[in-house]
Structure 1
């Protein structure tokens, strides 16, 4: 048996004390969890422009060999950067075989690798824990509530080695707060003097106490960061992002969570609060130009005490955009359900998503349309009808493009989301929608390639569409970003076009 890593040993020990009935399933699931994370890491090693891997690579019938700048060699299966199954079981560094991605990264001994290896080890352990405690959902059963769809996603990010990393969370806290474990979270309501807060939009009466505002606080944040008591609570259902929760019968609330989940620490910046209402109204007006194919969930209110560690944003539930007999499903959850006529369904969905994304991009707005932000409205038969988009914090807008369409940019919008760089705009949309959403839904390069080939000819011609048809596919270089902590902002890789 493969020896347990320190993270796996820690989780197994905590699990034995809390849920001994799950220990055997956890340990049995470790090989599959290692393969899932190793597949994601191998994708990065084979495709991202990591400075310690030479550009040239040797392709063989049994896989690919990568040459490191120090003379060592990595060998693994022929990489499919769009695949979502765990097809990588072993990667060899010179003559040593590795099944454990964290041990491989440790032995590579690259700059900043030790910290990332620890996160990867935690990702493996948390993934095995999630799989052991959350059996696969029945694909024939459709949930009735939006948060139930979100909680069906067990494996996390389809391409990031840190797909399930939750450093700083004990096993007990993962059971208490992680969506795949389906807990009811008791959100703290922290009273803060109203004159000490910045507020955007309308803060509801139900979250007020006289002149004080009741700010929703995640229990983990309350215990580990704020360390401030509160005597009021509200039950809530955690969503895919963990820090965003659905209030029963009400809106969704995004909370500050100063923990590194996947790539980033999930605080809420003061500028994102102050601009939230204006940005929401602006995006709503632009969505009207999609002929009813796109809805934007409205930001109802946002509040901060002036620090990113204590803030909250209230958004509409996407459910409000479902008609009779319809369901609103996060795209990341599509793989958990049976879809009618798989290839035809995928083509119809891709045509819808690209039509909307390219139309907005031509106007001057690039959505970050990954599987968590983008939702699809399905009719009673499962056919895609419309899209819903949520969380505007990371979109990009082009003042020059908008001006060509006679649209003025509100002065209150933060400078960081403005750019006229066409490469930055296209990367934002294509990296999230094509290399992320459509690729993960397709599940492999050949399926994605045939889907794109079938639909791009039906789309309205634009310079952006021409760039998508001719060039490589941009994607965030997720591993390179984690191994470059001293460099701010996104880093990108150009993935080979998927085969047709």
Structure 2
């Protein structure tokens, strides 16, 4: 059967054309990148409620999935918290697959064709990203002494090479050519010149204080990512500030300790990254609310302020200005995104990991008791480290997707005026899903790197925490996490879909 060219082949051809010096390293990284994406896909196959999987059973050191059409998938026993590329091959009946795109293509299950292409793109883009950085640096076996750490916040963001630790589309950047990935991907170390689109103030919604340097008389100058200008707005822009891209790609650091979140109408992992008009309208109230929350947590949590936000009443043309997390560092301290912690080498110490888990759970559970479920994954959550690497306190950025319980807030005398309706819920399951799925199933699990290591860190931490109903649920119930692959293969569904993982405190 003739197969069309794979995403990896297309990317390889582009690399050879636009960056030939990178071609050999890209080729060398391709097998490992395929295994990394296949490992993420195997986790989804093993644990998500996929409608075409009939049954799952252990078989020795392996796992067998029986499909509704009678076929069988076999692979290694799946650790839902493991982050290395531990699945080199999966078998569909008797055929071995080391390529996630080919596997999903040949499975030919409903709504899988486009996702299969995304997985091919994810593996190829991951190989490209890895080719840009030495293996030792991204695995934290070099450059992990505090004297060698980055001296800027964006320098830490550039260390995050592999993207989402559990999403099979961890590095999928559909719509981005190789040249654009090299020009805009933080792991490639570029400087990006933002554009500015002038919009009459009367046609803009502005929240907070929009700075004078982004005004031109009666016009508001809205910062625009150059990819957005070329592919979505399709217009030229005035020259804006030079910026360093952060790991979200659409948020960039500009001079003056400010981060600019731009609209980027491309699908990255699960979502299209535009900025809704409603989120602009709510940004100032959410920012004030974040400050009130942080004030209740005894200095253990800082929440970055939104300085200003503007939209031309379009999700495709909007921007948010936030203070940079490093403003919360005292001299000698470092503010590190949790997603970059692996590059410090610190998580290899069980004592350090237990201390970090204790800090993260203390903050997360206290905020939840007050009525706020943070979406504390490795991108939103940062840790302030001492000069010697001790975890001191946390920084949280981007309040857009938190969940808030009005009833819990009222019990603690915290005002919730102005918060958007979509973030409000008193349902314990919804609140716990938001926090536990992101903090435990995301930030802590990825930092630990495996179920056994996560179990030990959590066990050391929870023994010192107040035994609230939320803590009991965390210790005794299955862990809720987003069903990332189900979400990408369920075109008729909106919002988050969930699955349950074995409780990490009982994982063996």
Fold shared, TM-score > 0.5 on shorter chain: yes
Q: Which residue in 2 is equivalent to 1:248?
A: 255
TM-score, normalised via structure 2 length? 0.96
Is 2:482 the partner of 1:483? no
TM-score, normalised via structure 1 length? 0.98
Note closer, same or farther for the CA distance 1:98–1:5 as it changes in structure 2 (3 Å cut).
farther
The 5-angstrom pairing of residues 93-108 of structure 1 reads 93-108=92-107
The 5-angstrom pairing of residues 153-192 of structure 1 reads 153-192=160-199
Deviation at 1:266, TM superposition (A): 0.2
Deviation at 1:4, TM superposition (A): 10
Note closer, same or farther for the CA distance 1:147–1:4 as it changes in structure 2 (3 Å cut).
farther
* Aligned mates of 1:169, 1:492 — CA distance in 2: 29
Q: Which residue in 2 is equivalent to 1:433?
A: 439
Q: Which residue in 2 is equivalent to 1:419?
A: 425
Provide Cα deviations, 1:371-423, integer angstroms capped at 9, x if missing partner.
0000000000000000000000100001111112222311x221111111110
Q: Which residue in 2 is equivalent to 1:24?
A: 24
Deviation at 1:207, TM superposition (A): 0.8
Question: Which one of the candidate residues 473, 492, 498 is aligned to 1:467?
Answer: 473
Q: Does the 8 Å CA contact 1:270/1:308 hold for their aligned counterparts? A: yes
Q: Which residue in 2 is equivalent to 1:139?
A: 144
* Aligned mates of 1:72, 1:14 — CA distance in 2: 37
Question: Which one of the candidate residues 202, 205, 223 is aligned to 1:198?
Answer: 205
Is 2:80 the partner of 1:90? no
Q: Which residue in 2 is equivalent to 1:58?
A: 57
Provide Cα deviations, 1:134-155, integer angstroms capped at 9, x if missing partner.
2242323200000000000011
Deviation at 1:9, TM superposition (A): 1.3
Q: Does the 8 Å CA contact 1:48/1:477 hold for their aligned counterparts? A: yes
Deviation at 1:233, TM superposition (A): 2.0
Q: Which residue in 1 is equivalent to 2:269?
A: 262
Is 2:400 the partner of 1:401? no
Q: Which residue in 2 is equivalent to 1:43?
A: 43
Q: Does the 8 Å CA contact 1:83/1:443 hold for their aligned counterparts? A: yes
Provide Cα deviations, 1:279-311, integer angstroms capped at 9, x if missing partner.
100111111111000000000000001010000
Moved more, 133-142 or 294-303: 133-142
Name the SS of the counterpart of 1:490 in structure 2: coil
Is 2:374 the partner of 1:375? no
Q: Does the 8 Å CA contact 1:340/1:383 hold for their aligned counterparts? A: no
Corresponding residue pairs, total: 496
The 5-angstrom pairing of residues 346-361 of structure 1 reads 346-361=353-368
Provide Cα deviations, 1:84-107, integer angstroms capped at 9, x if missing partner.
000000000111110000111111
Q: Does the 8 Å CA contact 1:147/1:238 hold for their aligned counterparts? A: yes
Q: Which residue in 2 is equivalent to 1:33?
A: 33
Q: Does the 8 Å CA contact 2:74/2:91 hold for their aligned counterparts? A: yes
Is 2:306 the partner of 1:282? no
* Aligned mates of 1:485, 1:174 — CA distance in 2: 27
Is 2:110 the partner of 1:111? yes
Name the SS of the counterpart of 1:319 in structure 2: helix
Moved more, 241-250 or 148-157: 241-250
Provide Cα deviations, 1:407-441, integer angstroms capped at 9, x if missing partner.
2311x221111111110000000000000000000
Q: Which residue in 2 is equivalent to 1:234?
A: 241
Give the RMSD, CA atoms, in angstroms: 1.2
Name the SS of the counterpart of 2:46 in structure 1: helix
Deviation at 1:236, TM superposition (A): 0.3
Note closer, same or farther for the CA distance 1:41–1:178 as it changes in structure 2 (3 Å cut).
same
Provide Cα deviations, 1:329-385, integer angstroms capped at 9, x if missing partner.
000000011228711000000000000000010111000000000000000000000
Q: Does the 8 Å CA contact 2:208/2:284 hold for their aligned counterparts? A: yes
Q: Does the 8 Å CA contact 2:347/2:447 hold for their aligned counterparts? A: no
Name the SS of the counterpart of 1:252 in structure 2: strand
Provide Cα deviations, 1:262-292, integer angstroms capped at 9, x if missing partner.
1100000001000100110011111111100
* Aligned mates of 2:17, 2:239 — CA distance in 1: 30
* Aligned mates of 2:184, 2:293 — CA distance in 1: 35
Name the SS of the counterpart of 1:216 in structure 2: strand
* Aligned mates of 1:108, 1:269 — CA distance in 2: 36
Q: Which residue in 1 is equivalent to 2:140?
A: none
Deviation at 1:453, TM superposition (A): 1.1
Which 5+ residue runs of structure 1 have no aligned equivalent?
A: none
* Aligned mates of 1:464, 1:26 — CA distance in 2: 46
* Aligned mates of 1:160, 1:247 — CA distance in 2: 29
Provide Cα deviations, 1:32-52, integer angstroms capped at 9, x if missing partner.
010000000000000001011
Q: Does the 8 Å CA contact 1:256/1:312 hold for their aligned counterparts? A: yes
Q: Does the 8 Å CA contact 2:251/2:262 hold for their aligned counterparts? A: yes
Is 2:495 the partner of 1:497? no
Name the SS of the counterpart of 2:49 in structure 1: coil
Q: Does the 8 Å CA contact 1:190/1:232 hold for their aligned counterparts? A: no
* Aligned mates of 2:168, 2:224 — CA distance in 1: 28
Moved more, 210-219 or 135-144: 135-144
Which 5+ residue runs of structure 2 have no aligned equivalent?
A: 138-142
